Amino acid sequence: MPRYEYRCRTCDDTFELSRPMAESGDPADCPAGHADTVKLLSAVAVGGTAKGGPAPAPAGGGGGCCGGGGCG
């Protein structure tokens, strides 16, 4: 289930809720009970480095549009 981050405009607390995507836009009360909250835009980190050096090259040679043949 996705996690969404919210900020309370009353007490300035930031909190997270797990809820279905269908409920992502529903109002969320802060843990202190205030109703004036706003959903924050969350950034997702995808990537990183492997321990001991760079990640191995993908199988199949890659090559983009022409499969590694040199494109002209």
- pLDDT tens readout for residues 9-56: 999 999 999 999 999 889 999 999 999 999 998 777 677 665 666 666
Look at residue 54 and tell me if it is in a domain. Answer: no
Look at residue 63 and tell me if it is in a domain. Answer: no
Domain count, the chain: 1
Look at residue 33 and tell me if it is in a domain. Answer: yes
> Where residue 59 falls among pLDDT bands split at 50, 70, 90?
low
Look at residue 59 and tell me if it is in a domain. Answer: no
CA-based angle 26:29:32, to the nearest 5?
170
Look at residue 60 and tell me if it is in a domain. Answer: no
Cβ atoms within 10 A of the Cβ of 20, count? 9
Look at residue 57 and tell me if it is in a domain. Answer: no
CA distance 14 to 45: 19
Question: Is there a contact between 27 and 9 (Cβ–Cβ < 8 Å)?
Answer: no
CA distance 34 to 23: 19
Instruction: Domain of residue 22: give its range.
Output: 1-44
